[in-house]
Amino acid sequence: MNESRPRTLTGRGRALLTCGVTLVLGGILLGFPDITRIGVLLAVLPLLARLVARRRPPRLSIERSVTPARLQPDERAEVVVDFANIGDRATPLYLAEERIDYVLGDRPRFLLPRMEPGARRRLTYRIRSHVRGRHELGPIALQQQDPFGLTHVDLMIRSVGEVVVLPRIEALGHGRPPGSGLGNEGETPQMVALHGEEDVSIRAYHDGDDLRKVHWPATAHRGEIMVRQEDRPARRSAVLLLDSRQQGHAGSGGHSSFEWAVSAVASVAVQLGEAGYTLHLASRETLLDGTVEQPLSATEVVELLAVAETGDDVEHSRLVTTAHGLTERGGSLVAVVTDLDDRSVTDLAGLRQPGTSSLAMVLDAAGIAEGRRTTSAQAAGHCDLLGSAGWRVVSVPAGVTARAAWQSLTRLGSFTVTSS
């Protein structure tokens, strides 16, 4: 949709009008008709330019394409803007400016040449952002000036696009959460299909198995009693919990504790996704849209984290309560939390279920913001509390990378890691 703005005199036009009025008044007061006539001419020129400026704006349509549409931090993308004249008359020469978020760089400016009815023009520019999130592209502001530069007419084309900048992903190495039992925490065993029974897996007989499930063809083939296992064991699953409490985080921009937490959860999601885990994201975003219990791929988790924002304590309490329903089903639990208060850590400790692995990165938020490389007493106390509940814990002051924290969690038990 095109939105026309009032015709406005430029600085040159206003100066000319002011000079003209001054000369007219001076000529009349001093009795110099020639000066008065010159003043009238100077005053009339910008007024005529304003009157003859195009009254009815042209009809333009815009289509944008961004390649790639999903960016890694500091990755460049190419934006292609296609203009089309869908009106019944030619457009004048315009100075165009794309309104984009400041984190994407300087606003691109370019000349949009004259277009006949039905004509199209394609313009391109590049963007780059080191800040994750969903960023808008547009609208586009067009400006037309008269040949003398005395007046201009603004036109706003309210067509917008967007580009998504994903969280920073860090390679975590080969670490995996401990635990290799069957069920939600176990591997998916290879299925054996005999005689067309594609949906039935076969395993060795165990004491107490129902003899009616003996699979006689497989028993004869293997030389030992084999039984049908009609329920496929589930894939490994993991719950990823992000502490988004605004009061618990410190710092600003890409060096804040919250950005560290988002990047760490995204990196863990990619790591576990590559290992075949089914993921559940427990964050403020999935809590608000009711999708905490929805299984997600690593790609979906990362895209949700791209727009993660901080919230309040009430939302975090609801999130922990909701996560209980997921952890009761088994599977691994990975939490990135702050050192805000002891009560929330006590509630968090109760998420761990017997026989499952629970891993926590406890952020020393103030230490990260201040660049302090030693763990605070508050964060160390949280680590001790979670460790006593059976968690594997690592504290994160400034200088500790997500890779170092993850490798420590998946290699050792409850402890504190400090940066070198």
Residue 265: CATH number of its domain: 3.40.50
Residue 116 inside a domain? The answer is: yes
**Hey, what amino acid is at 67?**
T
Residue span of the structural domain in which 90 resides: 60-165
Residues 287 and 407 grouped into a single domain: yes
Residues 248 and 206 grouped into a single domain: no
**Hey, what amino acid is at 215?**
H
Q: What is the pLDDT of residues 363-385, one digit of tens each?
A: 999 999 999 999 999 999 999 99
**What is the average pLDDT value for the chain, to the nearest integer?**
86
Residue 213 inside a domain? The answer is: yes
Residue 416 inside a domain? The answer is: no
For residue 109, is pLDDT > 80?
yes
Residue 178 inside a domain? The answer is: no
Quickly list DSSP for 141-177: EEEEE-TTSSEEEEEEE---EEEEEPPPP---TT---
Residues 96 and 204 grouped into a single domain: no
Residue 181 inside a domain? The answer is: no
* CA nearest neighbour of 204 among 183, 229, 232, 182: 229
Residue 349 inside a domain? The answer is: yes
Q: Mean pLDDT across the stretch 325-341?
A: 91
Cα–Cα distance, 238 to 414 (Å, whole number): 19
Q: Which residue has the higher pLDDT, 66 or 211?
A: 66
Residues 242 and 221 grouped into a single domain: no
Q: How many domains does the chain have?
A: 4
For residue 188, is pLDDT > 60?
no
Residues 256 and 403 grouped into a single domain: yes
Residues 400 and 276 grouped into a single domain: yes
Residue 176 inside a domain? The answer is: no
Structure tokens at 278: 């089914």
Q: Show which of 229, 260, 284 is a domain's final residue.
A: 229
Residue 412: its pLDDT value, please? Answer: 52
Q: Show which of 35, 52, 69 is a domain's final residue.
A: 52
3-class secondary structure, 76: strand
Residue 4: its pLDDT value, please? Answer: 53
Residues 388 and 241 grouped into a single domain: yes
Q: Which residues pair with 98 in a beta bridge?
A: 140
Residues 65 and 30 grouped into a single domain: no
Q: Show which of 116, 150, 165 is a domain's final residue.
A: 165
**Hey, what amino acid is at 347?**
D
Cα–Cα distance, 9 to 186 (Å, whole number): 73
pTM over cut 0.75:
yes
